[in-house]
Amino acid sequence: QVQLVESGGGSVQAGASLKLSCTASGYTGSNNCMGWFRRGPGKEREGVATIFTADGDTMYANSVKGRFTISQDNAKNTLYLQMNALNPEDTAMYYCAAGTCAGGWWSVGLSSYAYNYWGQGTQVTVSS
């Protein structure tokens, strides 16, 4: 079992930055990928960013490319999401996830079905 705990959310003005953290505990060795997902008000859950844990390769949704950066600190078992130039469309509950990404990380890395473990989420609210 893997436990994931997110932190770092908050309420900010448009244009501000936030950095989310996700600390993993339990047996994490079988997870090939980790990712950040979000669900905005009245919206479907969407994949925001993913990282292939073995080599640190990353992939982003088009909506956040160039503004968000996903990274990992293996020594601390922690995943990060640096979010810059936030806008009201980024308002959502943000979830950390870990999984095997069976089927090929490049193909499924931003798909929620590729992940087995989920955190409880941290709220990000961006006002204009």
**Is residue 4 predicted with pLDDT exceeding 90?**
yes
| 59-93 per-position pLDDT tens digit | 999 999 999 999 999 899 999 999 999 999 999 99
Classify the C-alpha dihedral 38-43-47-48 as positive or negative: negative
Higher model confidence: residue 30 or residue 12?
Answer: 12
Instruction: Tell me which amino acid residue 117 is.
Output: Y
φ/ψ region of 32 (left if φ > 0, alpha if ψ in -120 to 50, else beta) reads alpha
**Is residue 104 predicted with pLDDT exceeding 90?**
no
pLDDT category of residue 127 using cuts at 50, 70 and 90:
very high
Instruction: Tell me which amino acid residue 78 is.
Output: T
Residue (of 75, 69, 36, 31) closest to 53 by Cα position: 31
pLDDT at 30: 76
